[in-house]
């Protein structure tokens, strides 16, 4: 996000961007209640679509800006991440596996689908802990309270260091994580907001997403 | 909408909340009363640091407590690894972990009313009992506690209510596990995030009513105490 902001303000020096990070569900409720936000970037397409259906965002602004991927992250360097991931997840030395809560997080839903694909969702149920969002899943694992976290690849990739290890989870193990953005009713009056959303799908914007662990929509 | 599932989730979440509030309050009575007596015996103000430390949770964001506890509970650290060795479970994401968090978080809401209650016990009664040869324990049990019981009950009710309303600490170290760490306030938050506003309304209304009822009890106890002191 910092790179996107920097690139955008470079070509639009007059723009002042204030970025709030949080869960899509919370922002949905806040925008519905008239929160002063112009652009809503979600980790899925469902929340923005529902905002449009409720009349709080403009339909023609719906923009698919990136496709997210998952990674398996651990601070336990002895776990052989290069081998079969099902074996890694079922390793007895893992007591807790952290993931974003599938009930409301798009990445959490994909994490659940991945475990279901590996037929580990039910057997590992006792080991799973549900973080409010992906950042908290990482925090659970970084603090050592969980031994493994299932995270957005972008998040795992953003903090490369020698005391942790991650591997990308094959994308066909879960439904594609299509990330979309919309202009809120307030934002559709703001030309800079419209420009920013359009910027995300320009060559420059898409290149930034690619270099941060996303793929770009066709 | 699956109403059966919703009712189950509701009962389960309130079950965890009540279990947490009862366990925390019981522990606060055991820890808080001796602590209040010990703090009251401090004449020169040497124990003011401890008193300040205990008061901190009133002003600290719960996220601060949750964050430090998450680090403390980590198997990389002494407390977390000792617990893991003893029980085979991590302290984070467990009910006992939440109990520790709640006791710290609600400590001032118990200790402060306890201190006031014991400070208001008429000293002459205690002295008479002492002259009659009552031991420290007898004086506490037969004189001080009966005099202070309303304040102690008020402190217990307040910390019970405060624990029911706990959110930030649990969010930081609970892991939202149904039946063990998914308390009502977290369940409400999860429902809001899923846009299940009708379920969220049920949780919110129940929490509001319980808190109102509990605080009414506290206020009623305070008034009765004040009236009795005035007479």
pLDDT higher than 50, residue B1 = no
Assign B230 a pLDDT band (cuts: 50, 70, 90): low
Q: B138, B152 in Cβ contact below 8 A?
A: no
Structurally, at CATH architecture level, domain B3-230 sits in: Orthogonal Bundle (1.10)
Q: What is the pLDDT of residues A191-208, one digit of tens each?
A: 999 999 999 999 999 999
Which among B13, B96, B193, B200 is the top mutation candidate for probing chain A, defined by the most A β-carbons within 10 Å of its own β-carbon? Answer: B193
Q: Which of B149, B152, B140 is nearest to B114 (CA)?
A: B152
Q: Is B193 on the interface with A (CB under 8 A)?
A: yes
CA distance A185 to B57: 41
Pick from B71, B90, B192: which is nearest to A95 by CB? B90
Q: Is B211 on the interface with A (CB under 8 A)?
A: no
pLDDT higher than 60, residue A17 = yes
pLDDT higher than 50, residue B124 = yes
Report pLDDT for B229: 63
Report pLDDT for B231: 57
When pLDDT is averaged across residues A34-59 and rounded to a whole number, the result is 93
Chain A residues in contact with B70 (beta carbon < 8 A)? 139-140, 143, 145
Assign B223 a pLDDT band (cuts: 50, 70, 90): confident
In sequence order, the β-bridge partners of residue A131 are: A100
Whole-angstrom CA distances from A150 to A43, A44, A49 are: 15, 17, 26
Report pLDDT for B29: 97
Chain A residues in contact with B190 (beta carbon < 8 A)? 101, 103-104
Report pLDDT for A175: 96
CA distance B145 to B127: 15
Interchain CB contacts (distance < 8 Å): A and B: 63
CA distance B173 to B91: 9
Q: How much is the mean pLDDT over chain A?
A: 92
Chain B residues in contact with A25 (beta carbon < 8 A)? 192-195
Pick from B71, B175, B190: which is nearest to A143 by CB? B71
Q: 3-state secondary structure string, B187-225? A: HHHHHHHCCCHHHHHHHHHHHHHHHHHHHHHHHHHHHHH
| Contact check, Cβ <8 Å, B73/A28 | no
CA distance B107 to B31: 9
Q: Is B6 on the interface with A (CB under 8 A)?
A: no
Assign A25 a pLDDT band (cuts: 50, 70, 90): confident
Alpha-carbon gap: B95 to the closest alpha carbon of chain A (Å): 13
Q: Is B93 on the interface with A (CB under 8 A)?
A: yes
In sequence order, the β-bridge partners of residue A73 are: A149, A166
- B140 CB-near residues (< 8 Å, 6+ apart): B37
Alpha-carbon gap: B73 to the closest alpha carbon of chain A (Å): 7
pLDDT higher than 80, residue B6 = no
Report pLDDT for B9: 86
Structurally, at CATH architecture level, domain A70-168 sits in: 3-Layer(aba) Sandwich (3.40)
Domains A2-67+175-211 and A70-168 agree in fold: yes
Kindly indicate whether the domain formed by A2-67+175-211 is annotated with CATH number 3.30.465.10. no
Pick from A25, A129, A131: which is nearest to B194 by CB? A25
For chain A, which residues make up each domain, given as ranges?
2-67+175-211, 70-168
Q: What is the pLDDT of residues B85-121, one digit of tens each?
A: 999 888 999 999 999 999 999 999 999 999 999 999 9
pLDDT higher than 70, residue B3 = no
| Contact check, Cβ <8 Å, B175/A129 | yes
Q: What is the pLDDT of residues A112-155, one digit of tens each?
A: 999 999 999 999 999 999 999 899 999 999 999 999 999 999 99
Q: Which of A9-13, A177-181, B207-211 has the lowest mean pLDDT?
A: A9-13
For chain B, which residues make up each domain, given as ranges?
3-230
| Contact check, Cβ <8 Å, A129/B76 | no
How many Å is the Cα radius of gyration of chain B?
Answer: 20
Number of residues that this document lists for chain A: 218
When pLDDT is averaged across residues A180-188 and rounded to a whole number, the result is 94
More confident residue, B152 or B9: B152
When pLDDT is averaged across residues A23-43 and rounded to a whole number, the result is 89
Q: Is B74 on the interface with A (CB under 8 A)?
A: yes
Pick from A50, A131, A144: which is nearest to B74 by CB? A144
Chain B residues in contact with A130 (beta carbon < 8 A)? 175-177
| Contact check, Cβ <8 Å, B70/A143 | yes
| Contact check, Cβ <8 Å, B93/A145 | yes
Alpha-carbon gap: B197 to the closest alpha carbon of chain A (Å): 10
**Pairing state of beta strands A63-68 and A165-168?**
unpaired
Assign A21 a pLDDT band (cuts: 50, 70, 90): confident
């Amino acid at each position: 996000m910092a790179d996107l902001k920097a690139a955008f303000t470079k070509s639009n020096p007059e723009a002042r961007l204030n970025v709030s990070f949080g869960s899509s569900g919370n922002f949905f409720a806040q925008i519905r209640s008239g929160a002063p936000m112009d652009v809503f970037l979600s980790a899925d397409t469902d929340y923005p679509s529902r905002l449009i259906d409720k009349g709080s965002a403009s339909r023609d602004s719906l923009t698919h800006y990136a496709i997210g991927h998952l990674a398996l992250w651990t601070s336990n360097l002895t776990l052989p991440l290069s081998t079969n991931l099902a074996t890694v997840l079922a390793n007895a030395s893992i007591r807790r596996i952290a993931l974003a809560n599938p009930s409301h997080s798009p990445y959490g839903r994909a994490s659940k689908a991945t475990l279901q694909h590996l037929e580990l969702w039910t057997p590992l149920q006792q080991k799973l802990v549900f973080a409010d969002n992906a950042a908290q899943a990482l925090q659970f694992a970084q603090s050592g309270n969980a031994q493994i976290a299932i995270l957005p690849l972008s998040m795992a990739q953003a903090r490369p260091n020698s005391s942790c290890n991650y591997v990308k989870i094959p994308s066909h193990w879960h439904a594609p994580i299509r990330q979309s953005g919309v202009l809120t009713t307030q934002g559709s009056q703001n030309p800079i907001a419209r420009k920013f959303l359009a910027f995300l799908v320009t060559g420059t914007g898409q290149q930034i997403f690619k270099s941060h662990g996303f793929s770009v929509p066709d | 909408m699956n109403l059966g599932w919703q009712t189950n989730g509701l009962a389960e979440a309130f079950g965890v909340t009540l279990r947490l509030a009862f366990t925390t309050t019981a522990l606060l009575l055991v820890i808080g009363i001796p602590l209040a007596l010990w703090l009251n015996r401090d004449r020169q103000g040497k124990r003011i640091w401890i008193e300040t430390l205990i008061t901190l949770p009133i002003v600290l964001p719960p996220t601060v407590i949750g964050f430090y506890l998450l680090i403390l509970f980590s198997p990389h650290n002494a407390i977390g690894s000792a617990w893991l060795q003893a029980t085979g479970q991590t302290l984070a994401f467990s009910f006992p972990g939440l109990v520790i968090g709640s006791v710290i978080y609600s400590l001032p809401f118990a200790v402060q009313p306890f201190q006031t209650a014991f400070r208001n016990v008429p000293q002459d009664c205690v002295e008479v009992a002492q002259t009659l040869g009552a031991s420290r324990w007898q004086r506490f049990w037969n004189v001080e506690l009966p005099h202070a019981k309303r304040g102690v009950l008020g402190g217990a009710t307040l910390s019970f209510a405060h624990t029911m309303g706990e959110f930030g600490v649990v969010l930081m170290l609970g892991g939202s596990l149904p039946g063990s760490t998914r308390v009502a306030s977290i369940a409400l938050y999860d429902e809001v995030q899923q846009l299940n506003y009708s379920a969220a309304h049920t949780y919110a209304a129940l929490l509001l009513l319980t808190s109102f009822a509990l605080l009414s009890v506290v206020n009623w106890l305070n008034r009765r105490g004040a009236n009795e002191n005035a007479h």
